[in-house]
Structure 1
Amino acid sequence: MDSIKDIKSCPIQYVLYINDTLNVISGKWKLPIIGSVLFGKKRFTEIQRNIPKITPRMLSKELKELELNGVIVRKVYDSIPVTVEYELSESGKSITEVLDKMIEWGIEHRTSVFAKS
């Protein structure tokens, strides 16, 4: 695997890795879904409740994509009725640092924009 130093010295590789990351987490709903399961296992309806305005169809689609990309793990329990829970994979848990940095940046950016107005 390339080191971040090697990647930064090659603008083409840098942009490719940014695109790879964005392909996994981009869209209106993926980060809110990740944020919803960040603090523990959730059932479908719990995730839906945490994200206003997401439709069941869109939530289902996005969960499948996140599972396909190895960010979310779907666990089906053999019970009556069947119980399905979603949680972050190990890879998904590592995105916490990215989210924390995004939140820090957002706070700083919002503060500076409002300070100018």
Structure 2
Amino acid sequence: MDRLKTLSAFSALSQETRLEVFRLLIVAGAEGMLSGEMSKRLDVRPNTMSANLTVLLNAGLVRNERSGRTIRYFADFDAVRGLLAFLMEDCCGGRPEVCQPLIEEIACAS
């Protein structure tokens, strides 16, 4: 991920509802969620949800798939990895032991 895409991602996530939507989609994982489900869960009007999803889509943080009349949304984990890689690119000045606690904290525990 480059600097401009990173700035776009942070801009999209700098609004409370969009951050909540993104975190909800991260938890949903490969199953994703329908817009209506997210609206109900977060108590957000459908048109507001649609606008927020558009911002996240344009920032490249989420993707969607249409199935008939419904649209399912997913966190774009490749984009998340790219964002984290950009942020951690020169981490720790060549001292991996400094970054290890952070890596362990964000890694999915089995």
* TM-score category (smaller protein): 0.5 to 0.7
1:44 to 35, 39, 53: 35
1:44, 1:25 → 2: CA distance? 17
Structure 1 residues 50 and 75: CA distance shift in structure 2, 3 A: same
Residue type matched to 2:14 in 1? S
1:86 to 49, 68, 73: 73
- 8 Å contact kept, 2:6–2:83: no
Partner of 1:73: 63
Deviation at 1:55, TM superposition (A): 1.5
Question: Which protein, 1 or 2, shows the higher relative CO under an 8 Å CA cutoff with sep ≥ 6?
Answer: 2
Q: TM-score by structure 1 length?
A: 0.56
Q: TM-score by structure 2 length?
A: 0.59
Partner of 1:58: 48
Residue type matched to 2:22 in 1? I
- 8 Å contact kept, 1:70–1:92: no
1:58, 1:45 → 2: CA distance? 11
1:64, 1:58 → 2: CA distance? 10
Q: Which moved more, 1:35-44 or 1:87-96?
A: 87-96
Partner of 1:34: 22
Give the unaligned 5+ runs of structure 1.
Answer: 3-12, 105-117
Structure with bigger gyration radius: 1
2:5, 2:71 → 1: CA distance? 33
Residue type matched to 1:86 in 2? Y
The 4+ residue runs of structure 1 with deviation greater than 2 A are 16-22, 92-96
1:47, 1:93 → 2: CA distance? 23
Instruction: Give the share of equivalent positions with the same residue, in percent.
Output: 18
- 8 Å contact kept, 1:75–1:85: yes
